[in-house]
Amino acid sequence: MAKRKLQIPLSAILRRTQPNPPSPALAFASRIPHASTPFAPLTETSRNLLTYSSQLSWKSVLFRNHFASTTLNLRCWNCVVAAETAPFLFCHSCRSVQPVDQSIDYFHIFGLDIEYDIEAGSLEGKYKEWQKKLHPDLVHSKSQREKDYAAEQSARVIDAYRTLNNPLSRAIYMLKLKGLDVDEEQTISEPELLGEIMEIREAVEEAADSQALTEIQIQIQEKLKHWAKSFSNAIRHQDFEEAKISIQRMTYYDRVNKEIVKRL
C-alpha cells in the first residue's frame, strides 16, 4: 500500500458496496436525549423528574439509587395510590398502565444498575414480565388513554430491550446518558486500520461459500468482543475518548457482521 496518509470517512468505506441505514436501535439511541418523543406525554411529575435527572452528574447517574423515584411521591393516574415499586410502569393496585416517564432509563426498566457488563439472559425474564403487564392487547377494553399508555410503554420496553441486548447500541446508549454523541462519520486516518478494513471487505466479497463467510464472521465477532471489553474498561475509568474509539471500531465490525449475515 502507498505510504500516503489516507483520510477516508469510515462511513464511505463501509457503505461502498451497499447503503447501510442505521439500525432501529441506533436510530432510537440518537433520539434518547430528547424528552419529546411522540409517545412521551410529559406530565408535571415527569417534568420534575427530568429536571431532577438533568442535574445529576455522570458519576451520580452511574451510581444513583434506582429507587429514588419512589421518594418523589409518584401516584397512579387512575386510582391515585402511591407507587410502591420502582420503576412505576404499572399500578399493582388497580392494574393500570402508567404513562411513559422518560426519566426512567433503560437499565432501570430491567432493574439493573447502569453498568456496561450485563450477564447473558438478565434481560429476558424482566422483558417477558413487562410485556405480560403492558401489552396493548391486554387493555383493549380499557379507556383510550390507557390504550395509548400501554402502546407507549410497551414500545419503550421493546426499545430498551433491543438497545441493551446489543453490545454496540448499549455502549452508545451509555454515552448518550452522559450526554455524549458518537460521530459515526468521524474520519479514520490510521493506515493500519484502513488496510485491515480493505482486506476484510475483499475477503467478504470474494468468499466462495458460506463456510468461508462463517470463518470471517468468527474473526469479526472476536474483534467485536475485544472492543466491547475495551469500551467496558474505558467507561469504568470514565475515559470517554477511549470509549468513543471503541464504539467506532465496534460500529465498523458490526456493519461487516451484518453484511456477512445477509450473504449467508
The least CB distance from residue 146 to Zn ion, in Å, is 11
Indicate the residue among 75 and 126 with the shorter CB distance to Zn ion: 75
DSSP string over 76-112: -TTT-PBP-SSS-SB-TTT-PBPPP-TTS-HHHHTT-
The least CB distance from residue 91 to Zn ion, in Å, is 3
Give yes or no for a cis peptide into 87 (omega within 30° of 0).
yes
Measured CA to CA, the distance from residue 263 to residue 205 in angstroms comes to 10
The least CB distance from residue 233 to Zn ion, in Å, is 44
> What residues line the site for Zn ion (CB under 5 A)?
76, 78-79, 91, 93-94, 96
Indicate the residue among 96 and 217 with the shorter CB distance to Zn ion: 96
The least CB distance from residue 141 to Zn ion, in Å, is 17
Indicate the residue among 25 and 97 with the shorter CB distance to Zn ion: 97
Residues across the chain:
264
Q: CB 92: neighbour CB atoms within 10 A?
A: 13
Query: What sign does the dihedral 70-72-78-80 (CA atoms) show?
Result: positive
- The answer to whether 181 and 248 are in contact (CB under 8 A) is no
The least CB distance from residue 74 to Zn ion, in Å, is 11
Indicate the residue among 96 and 232 with the shorter CB distance to Zn ion: 96
- The answer to whether 110 and 66 are in contact (CB under 8 A) is no
Indicate the residue among 82 and 264 with the shorter CB distance to Zn ion: 82
